Amino acid sequence: MSDIHDTVFPGDFPGREDKIKYFKEISSTMDVARELAQTGCPHSTVVIADRQVKGRGRLKRTWVSEKGGLYFTLVLRPQLSPLESYKVNFLASLVLAKTLRQKYSINAGVKWPNDILVGGKKISGILSEMETQTDRIDYINLGMGINVNNDPSGVEPKATSVKKILNRNVSRKDLLTDFLNEFEARLCTVATDDVIFQWKQHTVTLNQKVRIVTHHEVSEGIAIDVDQNGALLLAQSDGLVKTILYGDCFLV
């Protein structure tokens, strides 16, 4: 059943109206955000869609984007060097997990590099794209898919949603507003904050046996730490510790 409070419109975000780009259905919020970023849209522009027909996750996986979920991409122009860009991803997953905990009493945890899990099931995923010029960031596009009032379990058994956990619909507008308010406030100080330390207080990855999949290889071992550059430290069976910069992480 649809709920009028579940509708997201630009006018629902006072002070941000000119930065909210809302679509009932598009290919992908990331696609539209890239075009906007390349044509000079302002920092903190938000592209929102009720439904994506070509939503995507990490490593070009499909992100099923049915109505009821919250799908958006933030166009960010942070005052960071390209080497510090990883902090934005970690901050986004940290803020979303804390928003779900504090506002909805949902015991959300963060999984390296940028998923949100509840009870071992995925409730949100984050994808980022970056354009740089020499030593500065031109833009970072941060795409987020949050299972809110949809039921993803029919397509992805290892997924859940806010509605399934709480057994009721919640306002996507309120959830997005809460996240944006906290994220934008924290982004101002992300260069000096110890984001990785804070992120590790909410992680479900460390001290677990994991499998890391990239385009080129598969690695297994115990996730023992995340270093100050956001890389995962993997203790392998041969006794060596491998530093992994990127990849999909699966709990074994």
Q: Which domain CATH number covers 229?
A: 2.30.30.100
What pLDDT is attached to residue 18?
Answer: 83
Asked if pLDDT for residue 9 goes beyond 70, the answer is no
Report pLDDT digits (tens) over 193-207: 999 999 999 999 999
Segment 45-69 mean pLDDT: 75
Do 158 and 217 sit in the same domain of this protein? no
Segment 77-106 mean pLDDT: 96
CATH number reported for the structural domain that contains residue 132 in this entry: 3.30.930.10
Do 181 and 228 sit in the same domain of this protein? no
Binned at pLDDT 50, 70 and 90, residue 10 comes out as: low
| Structural domains in the chain (count) | 2
Contact indicator for 92, 144 with CB cutoff of 8 Å? yes
Contact indicator for 26, 60 with CB cutoff of 8 Å? no
Question: pTM, whole model, 2 decimals?
Answer: 0.91
Taken in order 13, 14, 16, 21, is the CA torsion positive or negative?
A: positive
Q: Which domain holds residue 245?
A: 209-251
Place of tokens 């709920």: 3
Do 158 and 227 sit in the same domain of this protein? no
Give dist(CA 224, CA 221) in Å, integer: 9
Do 26 and 62 sit in the same domain of this protein? yes
Do 45 and 98 sit in the same domain of this protein? yes
Do 194 and 215 sit in the same domain of this protein? no
Do 163 and 73 sit in the same domain of this protein? yes
Segment 46-65 mean pLDDT: 71
CA atoms within 13 Å, Cβ hemisphere of 204 = 20
CA atoms within 13 Å, Cβ hemisphere of 231 = 10
Do 227 and 106 sit in the same domain of this protein? no
Do 14 and 75 sit in the same domain of this protein? yes
Place of tokens 């910069």: 245
Do 193 and 219 sit in the same domain of this protein? no
Do 50 and 170 sit in the same domain of this protein? yes
Percent of the chain having pLDDT more than 90?
77
Do 238 and 147 sit in the same domain of this protein? no
**The 3-state secondary structure of the chain, one letter per residue:** CCCHHHCCCHHHCCCCHHHEEEEEEECCHHHHHHHHHHCCCCCCEEEEEEEECCCECHHHCECCECECEEEEEEEECCCCCHHHCHHHHHHHHHHHHHHHHHHHCCCEEEECCCEEEECCEEEEEEEEEEEEECCEEEEEEEEEEECCCCCHHHCCCCECCHHHHHCCCCCHHHHHHHHHHHHHHHHCCCCCCCHHHHHHCCECCCCCEEEEECCCCEEEEEEEEECCCCCEEEECCCCCEEEECCCEEEEC
